[in-house]
Amino acid sequence: MGWTDERVELLKKLWQDGLSASQIAKQLGGVTRNAVIGKVHRLGLSGRAAPSKPARTVFKAPRPARPAAAPSAPRRIAEAAPLAAQPSPVRYVEEAPGTATVLTLGAHMCKWPIGDPALDNFTFCGRRSGEGPYCVEHSQVAYQPAQAKKKASAAELARSLRRYI
């Protein structure tokens, strides 16, 4: 559809009223958002009464803290090497793990995920973190000491070199 004088006048009025290019295109019909933007630039329309603002997203309130579940069976973890001689962080209030959501997670809070991210009851540990992103307990799980490499014997070295001979 072409730009008739009536459509151009309507475009100018809607633009000055603060409608977005998408909204103007819907009202005019037969033109795209990009066609409206192009016509606005060719006409030199710059000032607007009030720019349109997208609808604000409504955030859900943080979920209440779920009760701490007793572990069903202790997991067997290789004995972790003690961390370097650094004092454990001071806790001002005893925090329960699993109380932080994406919206309440702060800079110095443990970011250890708890639960399935696809479910509504997904949380983060939320306790005070030390040097890294995790609290002391989760740091011990996340950062395992490097395993010492086994020295290759002469027979193993000869066997691996046979491939290249």
pLDDT at 35: 92
SS3 for 69-86, per residue?
CCCCCCCCCCCCCCCCCC
pLDDT of 140-158, one tens digit each? 888 877 776 777 788 888 8
- Number of neighbours of residue 11 by Cβ within 10 angstroms: 24
**Rounded Cα distance, 121 and 113, in Å:** 11
pLDDT of 76-101, one tens digit each? 665 555 555 555 554 444 456 677 88
Banded model confidence at residue 65, pLDDT cuts 50, 70, 90: confident
**Rounded Cα distance, 11 and 25, in Å:** 9
Instruction: Give the residue-averaged pLDDT of 158-165.
Output: 79
- Number of neighbours of residue 108 by Cβ within 10 angstroms: 10
Does position 113 have pLDDT exceeding 50, yes or no? yes
Does position 67 have pLDDT exceeding 80, yes or no? no
Cβ proximity of 65 and 99 under 8 Å: yes
pLDDT of 4-54, one tens digit each? 999 999 999 998 888 889 999 999 888 999 999 999 999 888 766 555 566
Pick the closest to residue 63 from 19, 124, 8, 143 (CA basis): 124
Rounded to 5 degrees, what angle do the CA atoms 13, 19, 21 make?
100
pLDDT at 26: 92
